[in-house]
Structure 1
């Protein structure tokens, strides 16, 4: 049986939509009613990383896990101990591309490295998925695009080889359902580095109306991010943006096309498929 965690998140919800209905699948969620798109044969169970008894119930009879956690806190340590005790054989973990960058010393990168090390030392087979930033991060611009036809972002000319989360989900499904991925690390990127200014132009093309880009300074970005994240995470994200400005996120990896047998999805394609989020209709 395959257990999927993080099933209401950006990647997890795409994974549950793609897992074949003839597989034994269990989905763990804090709020099971928020899980959508799963096959009718899938079990949806309540579970919380901080509640060992709920983890034990969710992991009973499970052989393979997709592990998606917040990159800070002790969720990985608690989950991996319980999974090993339950007899889980393989864990596919969603991590981050920044782990491999020696210049990345922000809180999130450090915690992801720690969590990867915990998995490697867990006694279970492991596969690491390290995506670059998600194209869907552009959804943070939806409100200002709808109201003012404007995209506001930090360092608009810095490039990022961001990845379509649907590609990450397809890779996750392959690593969960196929053999041959144990001990492998996959860095998942889009097909090209792209700047926020270029994304704005492609989003405008998808919407069929002009948009303008406004550069945020660090203080403005700190204020905007502070609406969603605690201060320690905000500072980590600002440090990450500095590395992007220095070119740390430009590199394109071949893992997505190699594993999926097709080119990685483009931001232009993502924007076209999600233009409804940016309209007032």
Structure 2
């Protein structure tokens, strides 16, 4: 039995779409009615990382689990203990590329490191997926593009080897359904390092209308992010952006090609497939 968590999120939902109908799959979600695209053979259950009993029920009979957590309020201790008790053999965890950066010491990266350490010390087999930033993060620009033909971002000429979430999902499915990934860490990037200015230009070309890029200063970014995130997370995002400005996120890897036998998807392809999100109503 394969358990998928985070099934309503960016990567987890794509994993659900890609798991074959003939596989025994259980999908855990806090709100099961939000799960979309699952095979009719999949079992969908309610579960919450803060509720031990719901985790025990979701993990019963599970052999391999896909672990996606995003709440900084608690670490993965409760899930890992429940998985150990249930006899789970292996956990595939979605982490982040920043964990390997010795200069990264922000709140979010420290939380990811802590969770990785918990899994490696659990006695279960483990596989770590460490993606660079998701290409889908640019969906946060959709409102200003639709309304004003404007993109506003911090450090617009800094490059990031961002990755298509669909590639992450495809790698996740491979690691969940194939042997040989035990004790392995896969760092996942796109095929090129691209800047926000370049992404804006590609979106403008695909949309067939001019877009303007407006550079935010750090204080403007702090205010903008503060509308959506608590102060500690905002400071972590600012630290992350500064590392990107310094070039630490521009390295392109080959893991996607090695694991999938094809090149990683480029930003232009992702944008073409999601162009309706930016189109003028």
Question: 2:148 aligns to what?
Answer: 148
8 Å Cα contact 1:141/1:151 also seen in 2: yes
| 1:89-108 mapped onto 2 (5 Å cutoff) | 89-108=89-108
- Corresponding residue for 1:273? 273
Say if 1:115 and 1:93 are closer, same or farther in 2 by CA, change over 3 A: same
1:219, distance to aligned residue in structure 2 (A)? 1.1
Between the two proteins, the alignment pairs up a number of residues equal to: 281
Give the structure 1 partner of residue 110 of structure 2. Answer: 110
Q: State the partner residue of 1:209.
A: 209
> Once structures 1 and 2 are overlaid, which stretch shifts more, 219-228 or 108-117?
219-228
1:157, 1:254 → 2: CA distance? 24
Which whole-Å CA distance do the structure 1 matches of 2:216 and 2:263 have between them? 32
Unaligned runs of 5+ in 2: none
Match of 2:195 in 1: 195
The alpha-carbon deviation at position 280 of structure 1 amounts to 2.8
Contact 1:50-1:75 within 8 A present in 2 as well: no
Q: Report if the CA contact (8 A) 1:49-1:75 is conserved.
A: no
1:74 Cα offset (Å): 2.3
Say if 1:71 and 1:112, in contact at 8 Å, map to a contact too: no
Maintained 8 Å contact 2:6/2:28? yes
> SS of 2:112's equivalent?
helix
Question: 1:13 is matched with which residue?
Answer: 13
CA shift for structure 1 position 75: 4.0
Question: For structure 1, which runs of at least 5 residues remain unmatched after alignment?
Answer: none
Matches of 1:4 and 1:226, distance apart in 2: 31
The Cα shift of 1:73 comes to: 3.0
Report 1:113-192 matches (<5 A): 113-192=113-192
Partners of 1:277 and 1:187 lie apart in 2 by 28
- C-alpha distance in 1, partners of 2:185/2:249? 17
Supply the distance in 1 between the matched residues of 2:205 and 2:32 (Cα, whole angstroms).
37
Q: Deviations over 1:207-260 (max 9, x none)?
A: 111111000111111111112211111100000000000000000110001101
- The aligned counterpart of 1:242 is 242
| DSSP 3-state at the match of 2:10 | coil
Q: What secondary structure sits across from 1:26 in the alignment?
A: strand
Could you tell me how far apart the structure 1 residues matched to 2:27 and 2:179 are? 21
User: TM (normalized to structure 2)?
Assistant: 0.99
2: CA distance, partners of 1:173 / 1:217: 40
Give the TM-score normalised by the residue count of structure 1: 0.99
Q: CA RMSD in A?
A: 0.7
